[in-house]
């Protein structure tokens, strides 16, 4: 078992209320160049994996801290590619821990995850929100390299995701997809769809009535975007937030839908216009 490669980002407020990025630790393959000022005021960080993807047996660790009042946007520089595993023990993993202090606001907007044929990957993420902290977090999973004819040819993809707000769990996902063992096209799983996505929108401390109203507003967008090729649903969490979920035959439609929800959610949460993060390549 090799020691994980760590990346530790800390967003802190300085005088005049602006947010600065301190890269407290970055070990290869991680690379963050610097923070950029996003048009909507957040400090934007591009997380770059220099190896071009996640390799067999990679063990990656990401920690993101937002101090009180810090405003941050974190994205990737491209899709997260999970390369083929050479043995059943060759499981790549990534662990992400996020802490957002009171008044902090984080947008976590990575590109899609693409598990290549034969890959094995486990991802774990835990987000802790103090009272008054806000979060928009999306993720999007592709079935493989579709342009090469790959669809659900990976060995295993496992995910564990947890959001804790004011000390209580508000959302927990724990799933494993093993296409060679369990049929993914079962209606109990994905049915005829191949891509899936989630977008969590949270602010610790807002009352349930706020989220129910917001859920109804976003559901209008969900209805407008849904068709026989893509389905969206919006639902309140047990407290402090909601989740938007989508399943689609086509990945592009899912990506553009996420952007629509993000724009609406950002406007409602903080009254700022969402602009897609500039990418550096």
**Looking at residue 238, what DSSP letter applies?**
S
Question: Are 207 and 150 spatial neighbours (Cβ–Cβ below 8 Å)?
Answer: no
SS3 for 15?
helix
| Nearer to other proteins among residue 45 and residue 239 (C-beta) | 239
**Residues in region 241-260 near other proteins by CB under 8 A:** 243, 245-247
Count of beta carbons in the 10 Å neighbourhood of residue 188: 7
Q: What are phi and psi of 230, to 5 degrees?
A: -150, 135
Count of CA atoms in the C-beta half-sphere (13 A) of 100 = 29
Closer to other proteins at the Cβ: 11 or 211?
Answer: 211
**Cα–Cα distances in angstroms (integers) from residue 62 to residues 29, 49, 124, in the given order:** 12, 12, 10
The least CB distance from residue 122 to other proteins, in Å, is 11
CA distances from 86 to 30, 80, 137 (A): 23, 19, 32
- Piece of the chain touching other proteins by CB under 8 A; list 25-33, 41-49, 145-153, 229-237: 229-237
Number of residues that bind other proteins (CB under 8 A): 40
CB of 226 to other proteins, least distance (A): 8
Q: Which is nearer to other proteins, 51 or 219 (CB)?
A: 219
- Please tell me what DSSP assigns to residue 64: E
Q: 267 in helix, strand or coil?
A: helix
167 binds other proteins (CB under 8 A): no
Nearer Cβ to other proteins (9/243): 243
Q: Binding to other proteins by residue 226, rule CB under 8 A?
A: yes
CB of 203 to other proteins, least distance (A): 17
State yes or no: residue 236 binds other proteins (CB under 8 A): yes
Burial category of 23 from C-beta neighbours within 10 Å (exposed 0-12, middle 13-18, buried 19 and up): middle
**x-or-dash pattern for other proteins, window 169-208, by CB under 8 A?**
xxxxxxxxx----xx--xxxxxxxx--x------------
Would you say 51 or 226 has its CB closer to other proteins? Answer: 226
Contact set with other proteins (CB under 8 A): 158, 162, 168-177, 182-183, 186-193, 196, 215, 219, 222-223, 226, 231-238, 243, 245-247
């Amino acid at each position: 078992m090799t020691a994980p490669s760590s990346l530790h980002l800390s967003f802190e407020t300085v005088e005049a209320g602006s947010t600065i990025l301190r890269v407290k630790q970055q070990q290869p393959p991680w690379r963050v160049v610097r923070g950029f000022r996003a048009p909507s005021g957040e400090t934007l960080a591009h997380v770059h994996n220099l190896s071009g993807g996640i390799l067999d047996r990679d063990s990656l660790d990401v920690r993101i801290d937002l101090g009180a009042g810090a405003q941050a946007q974190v994205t990737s520089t491209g899709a997260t590619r999970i390369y083929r595993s050479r043995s059943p023990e060759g499981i790549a993993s990534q662990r992400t821990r996020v802490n957002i202090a009171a008044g902090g606001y984080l947008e976590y907007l990575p590109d899609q995850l693409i598990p290549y044929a034969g890959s094995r990957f486990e991802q774990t993420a835990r987000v802790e929100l103090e009272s008054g902290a806000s979060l928009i977090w999306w993720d999007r999973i592709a079935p493989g390299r579709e342009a090469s004819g790959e669809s659900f040819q990976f060995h295993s993809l496992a995910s564990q995701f947890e959001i804790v707000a004011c000390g209580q769990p508000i959302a927990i996902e724990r799933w494993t997809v093993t296409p060679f063992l369990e049929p993914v096209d079962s209606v109990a799983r994905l049915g005829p769809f191949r891509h899936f996505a989630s977008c969590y929108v949270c602010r610790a401390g807002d009352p349930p009535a706020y989220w129910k109203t917001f859920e109804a507003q976003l559901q209008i967008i969900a209805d407008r975007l849904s068709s026989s090729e893509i389905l969206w649903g919006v639902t309140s969490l047990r407290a402090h937030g909601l989740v938007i979920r989508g399943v689609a035959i086509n990945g592009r439609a899912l990506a553009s839908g996420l952007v629509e929800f993000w724009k609406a959610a950002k406007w409602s949460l903080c009254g700022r216009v969402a602009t897609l993060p500039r990418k550096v390549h």
